Amino acid sequence: MKTKVISKLRQRKVSIIVAIVTLSVSMLSGCSQAAGSATIVAGSTSVQPYAEVLAEEFMVLNPEAEIDIQGGGSSAGITAAQTHSAAIGMSSRALKDEEKSLNYIEIARDGLVLIVNPKNPIQNLTLAQIRDIYEAKITKWSEVGGVDSKINIIAREEGSGTRSAFTELVMEKAEINPKAIVQDSNGAVRQLVGDDPNAIGFISLGLVNDKVKAVLLDGVEASRDNIINGSYSLSRPFLFVTNGEPTGLAKQFMDFTLSEEGQRLLSNEGLIPVAKETEK
């Protein structure tokens, strides 16, 4: 009987030891996974494709690094930075006053372009006409010199940096018509306009292709040179945002973005590079 009790005690002791070892291995494994986890960069879907180009090259140069680029919109990216859900937030609009306690750098500038279908004869619109179209005060293309067809308005979703920039730069205090067709990315806006001869939308300059036509704004072409010299008025900053000074891999990636190589990559993708680091 005594032998059986001792045996049970030994079994229990062994079980406890095994449990402790298992827990220790699990904890070590968890630490190892945490140490090797990706640095998350999240936010603006306008900045996202350019950040992906940067991350791809950065990871080629730094094979041990892992940068995970995610979308969600500018507001979501700023919130992710504030809450440390992401190491870096991406924004395609300027920060609001209540957000300026965050650290940010402007990585490039982007032109905001009004696009129509290539079959649409419209070549030029004034800022006032664009505002009236998006308010639905102008509802037919014939009212601005085009065909007698209803204008199909395409806009970005609430929380989008592209929409915020458009609202600020074009709409003044007016609201975009609530009946506008809403899309959650510049690519989706471009696709709809490319498929619809009566549609109008707004996207990043760097995303304009032969499937859509960029409209002149008050007679001025949307181009890099015209954005730089100020004659084309619809431009916005692309920002990387962090909660406090960036450290570790996040800082390395941001430094790479502002480097000559990083700025060359962004320029090749159609953005206007920054002349120098603009860390705030």
How far apart CA 152 and CA 138 sit, in angstroms, is 11
Tell me the whole-structure pTM to 2 decimals. Answer: 0.74
If phi over 0 gives left and psi between -120 and 50 gives alpha, with beta otherwise, what is residue 27? alpha
CATH classification number, 111-228, choose in 3.50.50.60, 3.40.190.10, 2.60.40.10, 1.10.3720.10: 3.40.190.10
What does the pLDDT read at residue 101? Answer: 94
φ and ψ at 57, to 5 degrees? -70, -40
Q: Which residues pair with 41 in a beta bridge?
A: 69, 88
How would you write the pLDDT of the chain (280 residues) with one tens digit per residue?
444 443 444 454 434 433 433 333 333 233 333 334 789 999 999 999 999 999 999 999 999 999 999 999 999 999 999 999 999 999 999 999 999 999 999 999 999 999 999 999 999 999 999 999 999 999 999 999 999 999 999 999 998 999 999 999 999 989 999 999 999 999 999 999 999 999 999 999 989 999 999 999 999 999 989 998 999 999 999 999 999 999 999 999 999 999 999 999 999 988 999 864 444 4
Residues 6+ apart with CB under 8 A from 11: none
Residues sharing a CB contact under 8 Å with residue 13, sequence separation 6 or more, in sequence order: none
Amino acid 22: pLDDT? 36
Q: Where are the beta strands (DSSP E) in the chain?
A: 39-43, 67-72, 88-91, 103-116, 124-125, 152-156, 181-183, 199-204, 213-214, 216-217, 235-242, 272-273
The predicted pLDDT at position 275 comes to 62
Q: Please, what sign has the CA dihedral across residues 112, 118, 124, 125? A: negative
Dihedral Cα 120, 122, 124, 125, nearest 10 deg: -90
Whole-number pLDDT of residue 190: 97
- Which of these, 58, 92, 52, lies nearest to 73 by C-alpha position? 92
User: Which residues are bridge partners to 241 per DSSP?
Assistant: 89, 104
- The CA distance from 220 to 232, in Å, is 6
Q: Whole-angstrom Cα distance, residue 196 to residue 257?
A: 37
Biggest distance spanned by C-alpha atoms of the chain: 104
What is the reported pLDDT for 183?
96
What the block records as the tokens of 169 is 């730069």
Under DSSP, the state recorded for 157 is: P
Task: For residues 193 and 183, give the distance between their C-alpha atoms in angstroms, rounded to a whole number.
Answer: 11
